[in-house]
A and B are shown apart, each in its own frame.
Chain A
Amino acid sequence: MTVIETKGITKVYNPKKVPVHALRGVDLTIRKGEFTAIVGPSGSGKTTLLNIIGGLDQASSGVVIVDGVDITRISDNKLIDFRKEKIGFVFQAYNLIPVLTAAENVEFIMLLQGISKDKRQKRVVELLKSVGIEDQADKRPSKLSGGQQQRVAVARALASKPSFVLADEPTANLDSKSTAQLLDIMAKLNQEEGMTFIFSTHDQRVIDRARRVVTLEDGMIISDVTR
């Protein structure tokens, strides 16, 4: 089942001044349950591609179909709701809400979705357990290590039961041990629950664990390898 399909997407920054072509016609199809790494040197367009797939940025041209919906044609407000329901995000700098505890950070998305308190709390416990930090539930992000924060971020990304999780350089700020733990968790979620993960990464440890590696260079896919 196809989760994401991009057709000829381009992205040009500063089109009227000094045009920078970040993407030059990218066709990519991601199916449910894939564990995909998008790799490439800096400036190759990895983050731009992820932002466009995640509905955070607009393509200059082309079509992005997510779960059967062409997200290039929907309004900003609908896109916010679409992201809330369909997409989980994991950011390089964790980006947790500093004034909320780990449990509250995970619960937050479900609150936005209007899920009942009982269901929220049950799911928070499950999610924190699944990423192995149930004992840190009441701590604020500043009291957690980088690895723990990123695991909370993964739990938060999964809270809304999204169609897929986009992770932009999720291990960039983590040490080896934390990276290995995070990858184990994501691999387990992928294998056991069939969650689709798409990473942009430089990190060889992530690339080694990915089952599909899409390589970008100068805004174009130069290789797409499934292992």
Chain B
Amino acid sequence: MILKLAWRNIWRNPARSFVVIGAIIIGVWSVIFLMGVMHGMINSYVDNAIKRETSHIQIHHPEYMKDKESKFYMENAEKLIQDIEKIPGVKAATIRSQTNVMIGSSHGTRGIRINGIVPGREDKLTGLNELLVEGKYLEEGRPNQILLSSRLASKLKVKLRSKLILTFQTLDGEIVSGAFRIKGLFDTKNAMFDDNIAFVDIHSLNELLGQQDIGHEAMIYIGSVEQMDSTVMSLKKAFPDLLVQNYREISPELGLFETQIGMAGRIYMVIFMLALIFGIINTMLMAVLERVRELGMLMAVGMNKLKIFLMIVLETLLLGVVGAPIGIGFGYLLTSYYSTRGINLVIFSKEGMEQFGMTNFIYPSVNPEDYLFLAMSVFITALLASLYPAYKAIKLKPVEAIRKM
């Protein structure tokens, strides 16, 4: 009966209840979508970084990550990769030789990082070949070809088939130069990456470095992030003399970004809940104050304080019970709609997102547990918001309440 009474009470002033329910719906809806966009941004940034830059796991010479000096290399690179691929959980792997170079054209010089890659492995992992906007991908065994971004080409004022001179130190510390012809131009949509990275065949680079069959960075892709820790353990066991790291260790900013964005989502949610709590208190106080005489009557005829308290709490919770699922439903639909189509951020800033290593398309996604978390938050908020009005209700004196007009 208390539940029935509470349910009917919230509809005795439909306009007022709809305002609160509407606030809950819009709030929950927008928080879900906002969380979805934030998750989408995290995923975009992290996935992009994993795919193009870090992979899930990397293996290096133990000293290499300190200063990334090319003298700290791993020998027997081809065999190393084959051994890595045998480890359970590893989906694919490749190896790169790396060094910092001065890249020069007839128009200028820039400092960049060169990746010597195994073209046949690299295209399957990073999809580098799919990013070409002009020219062709590196051919296995063809020396002195280079891939660079169209952004970098434009800065160096070179085009396809132009010749570039790479100057860098050999493993022995000698200065060496090599001429490379531009085979293809790529565009990753990540301006930071495109300005600073170029690719050559690993054999060409190793030859100039002064030793074949070496690599500085083994890149490993796994089936899913959930397998990462167990795969890292297996790799560490298999290669005890090498440094095995996951992407969060390799790029702490990725982990930090994930944490910060996740925290920002929670902060938005807390702000929304705080706004909601006052909205609900206001509404329920009005509902109590305009029913003072009725509440007095209920106490007069024998409804005890606990039942009165429960009735007000239930009325408040029912507002949330009506509003939250609708808001969650709308949030789910909107997030699902954009999760496949993506949100094109170019309309806000043409190059803004690319500057930060994200693509211009964000694909919102919300974890199932976030829906549950939000529903619980609305429930707790409504419960907290109900306490003061319910307290006011039970503090009424029946004799005074009944006299009120």
Contacts and interface: CB of A to CB of B under 8 A. Distances in A.
B297 A91 contact: yes
Contact of A56 (B1, B8, B12, B402): B402
A99 B9 contact: yes
A70 interface: no
Contact of A91 (B11, B12, B299, B402): B402
Contacts of B398: 56
Interface in A112-141: 112-113
A80 B394 CA distance: 12
A14 interface: no
Contacts of A199: none
A95 B402 contact: yes
Interface string B1-28: 1000100110110000000000000000
B399 A83 contact: no
B298 interface: yes
Given A56-B398, A91-B402, A84 B302 contact: yes
Interface string B258-299: 000000000000000000000000000000000001100111
Interface string A89-118: 101010101111000000011011100000
B301 A83 contact: yes
A72 interface: no
A109 B294 contact: no
Contacts of A84: 301-303
A95 B294 contact: yes
A171 interface: no
Contacts of B179: none
Interface string A149-175: 000000010001000000000000000
A99 B12 CA distance: 7
Nearest to B306: A77
Interface in B389-405: 398-399, 402
Interface in B287-333: 293-294, 297-305, 307
B12 A80 contact: no
Interface string A186-203: 000000000000000000
A112 B300 contact: no
B294 A77 contact: no
A173 B9 CA distance: 25
A77 B394 CA distance: 12
B304 A160 contact: no
Interface in B218-277: none
A89 B301 contact: yes
A80 B304 contact: yes
B1 to A, nearest CB: 5
A109 B304 CA distance: 11
B224 to A, nearest CB: 53
Interface in A66-93: 77, 80-81, 83-85, 89, 91, 93
Contacts of B302: 80-81, 83-85, 109, 112-113, 160
B304 A81 contact: yes
A54 B301 CA distance: 10
Nearest to A57: B399
A93 B1 CA distance: 24
B297 A95 contact: yes
Nearest to A159: B301
Contacts of A156: 301
A35 B293 CA distance: 27
Interface in A178-220: none
B293 A98 contact: no
A99 B399 CA distance: 22
B399 A56 contact: yes
A60 interface: no
A61 interface: no
B300 A56 contact: yes
Contacts of A85: 302
Contacts of A83: 300-302
A93 B398 CA distance: 15
A109 B301 CA distance: 7
A81 B304 CA distance: 8
B12 A54 contact: no
Given A95-B293, A95-B297, A80 B402 contact: no
Contacts of A98: 12, 294
A164 B11 CA distance: 35
A97 B294 contact: yes
A95 B302 CA distance: 14
A113 B303 CA distance: 9
Contact of A89 (B293, B294, B300): B300
A48 to B, nearest CB: 9
B299 A80 contact: yes
Nearest to B298: A97
A51 B301 CA distance: 12
Contacts of B299: 80
B186 to A, nearest CB: 69
A111 B304 CA distance: 12
A54 B294 CA distance: 17
Given A80-B299, A81-B302, 13 more contacts: A56-B398, A57-B399, A77-B304, A80-B305, A81-B304, A89-B301, A95-B297, A97-B5, A97-B297, A98-B12, A113-B302, A156-B301, A160-B302
21 contacts: A51-B399, A54-B300, A56-B398, A80-B302, A80-B304, A80-B305, A81-B302, A81-B304, A83-B300, A89-B301, A97-B5, A97-B297, A98-B294, A99-B12, A108-B1, A108-B301, A112-B301, A112-B302, A112-B303, A113-B302, A156-B301
Interface of A: 51, 54, 56-57, 77, 80-81, 83-85, 89, 91, 93, 95, 97-100, 108-109, 111-113, 156, 160
For the complex of A and B, the 3 pairs showing the least CB-CB separation, nearest first, are A84-B302, A99-B8, A95-B297
